[in-house]
Amino acid sequence: MDARLNYFANPAAGKALKYVMAAGRELKDSPLPARTQELVALRVSQVNGCAVCIDMHTKEAVAAGEDHGRLHLVAAWREATVFTPAERAALALAEQGTRVADAAEGVDDEVWAEAARHYDEDQLATLVLLVGFLNMVNRLNAITRQPAGSYEAGSFH
């Protein structure tokens, strides 16, 4: 499968994407734990059906020390016993923040309060920005049908 558009070969897209990629790098360097970031990135990408991002964030999670068994359970995190209460709060916020069109209220007060119990304001801000960032990137990749499978961990650092 070939992508409909090569973002990095296109001058207009490449010019804008350098800022998008810089924002992604800033989020990586935030106080939100790397493994939590990758779990959230994986779940948002699963919800959005972004294969290239699922490939990327699964590999980045492993590089960050994540266990394959836990990664296999991210899609069913509610029923899985392997996630901490903080990770569960992050995954819940990520899902509700991604499914805004499905739930008119967006992130409900209970999910927000649970996330705020586990994360300080800087981590919470990062979590919110990360969810928004991933939703944008997922859509860019889905629209242009970016192929998955060849990502190597660390490629965008």
Least reliable range by pLDDT among 9-13, 28-32, 62-66, 116-120: 9-13
User: Which of 127 and 152 is assigned the larger pLDDT?
Assistant: 127
Domain count within the chain: 1
- Give the pLDDT band of residue 149 (cuts 50, 70, 90): low
Residues 140-144: what's their mean pLDDT?
90
Is residue 157 very low, low, confident or very high in pLDDT (cuts 50, 70, 90)?
low
pLDDT at 40 over 80: yes
Give the C-alpha separation, 37 to 56, whole Å.
12
pLDDT at residue 150 greater than cutoff 70: no
Provide the 8-state DSSP code for 76.
Answer: G
Note whether residue 6 is domain-resident: no
What secondary structure letter does DSSP report for 151?
-
Residue 152 pLDDT > 90, yes or no? no
Per-residue DSSP letter, 150: -
- Residue 19 inside a domain? The answer is no
The pLDDT of residue 156 is 65
Percent residues over pLDDT 90 in the chain: 69
pTM of the predicted model as reported, rounded to 2 decimal places: 0.90
Instruction: State how far the Cα of 129 lies from the Cα of 132, in Å rounded to an integer.
Output: 5
Distances (CA, A) of 73 to 30, 69, 78: 25, 7, 9
Q: Assign 124 a pLDDT band (cuts: 50, 70, 90).
A: very high
CATH number at residue 78: 1.20.1290.10
Residue 107: give the domain boundaries. Answer: 33-143
Asked whether residue 3 is assigned to any structural domain, the reply reads no
Does 138 map to a domain? yes
Q: In this predicted model, what pLDDT tens digit does every residue of 59-112 receive, in sequence order?
A: 999 999 999 999 999 999 999 999 999 999 999 999 999 998 776 678 999 999
The answer to whether residue 22 sits within a structural domain is no
Mean pLDDT of the chain: 91
